[in-house]
Chains A and B, each alone.
Chain A
Amino acid sequence: AQSVTQLDSHVSVSEGTPVLLRCNYSSSYSPSLFWYVQHPNKGLQLLLKYTSAATLVKGINGFEAEFKKSETSFHLTKPSAHMSDAAEYFCVVSHTDKLIFGTGTRLQVFP
């Protein structure tokens, strides 16, 4: 069965410092993986996606993620956090025709 585990429910960083949001997946075959962001009182926006092409995926707003099959990980990173990055981030795996969401990581960015 497909599943994702987000290892941190909350991450706090200072503005200008790197961001690392961790995600591990479980999949019986080559997965499609996504990161979505949800700003307060907003909908879900796609940050980036992995669909078996390049293992290093670049997304919007300077985010990127690396697919590591050996570690079953798809961690989200950004070199320098901005105040506007404060939001809830969801790691998502695609299973047949539905998406399975992780529990989410709330990113706080302090000035």
Chain B
Amino acid sequence: EPEVTQTPSHQVTQMGQEVILRCVPISNHLYFYWYRQILGQKVEFLVSFYNNEISEKSEIFDDQFSVERPDGSNFTLKIRSTKLEDSAMYFCASLRRQNTEAFFGQGTRLTVV
């Protein structure tokens, strides 16, 4: 069964450092997303990506965040200068079409120290 894969599963980084979270969506999917879940809190939308550009982003997704689909396979989330409050579980998701089932990866747990 096709699945979304995310690497790494855990990432510890020092405050102010750049991190790149990687995702490989399902191959025939067209819509890609990043969500995050701060420990004990709800899952929050960060950004959606379609046709090689951002289609929507939340208030959380400020200038420190960027996404890229560099090679038609990987979908990355970059945080340029991490803050303590960026510590969270980050989920990648992909959809074949709008309003259909989103397939989520296992998540990357980011800890900023």
Contact = CB atoms under 8 A, between A and B. Distances in A.
A20 interface: no
Chain B contact patch, size range: 20 to 34
B17 interface: no
Contacts of A36: 104
A103 B42 contact: yes
Nearest to B106: A43
Nearest to B33: A98
Contact of B48 (A46, A97, A100, A102): A97
B91 A44 contact: yes
Looking at chain B's contact residues, the main secondary structure is: strand
B66 to A, nearest CB: 18
A97 B55 contact: yes
Given A98-B56, A99-B102, A90 B50 contact: no
A103 B93 CA distance: 19
Given A51-B99, A51-B100, A104-B42, A97 B91 contact: no
A96 B31 CA distance: 12
B28 interface: no
B101 A49 contact: yes
Given A90-B43, A101-B42, 19 more contacts: A34-B101, A36-B104, A43-B104, A44-B43, A44-B91, A46-B102, A46-B103, A90-B42, A97-B48, A97-B56, A98-B48, A98-B56, A99-B35, A99-B45, A100-B45, A101-B35, A101-B45, A103-B42, A104-B43
Interface of B: 31, 33, 35, 42-45, 48, 50, 55-56, 91, 93, 95, 98-107
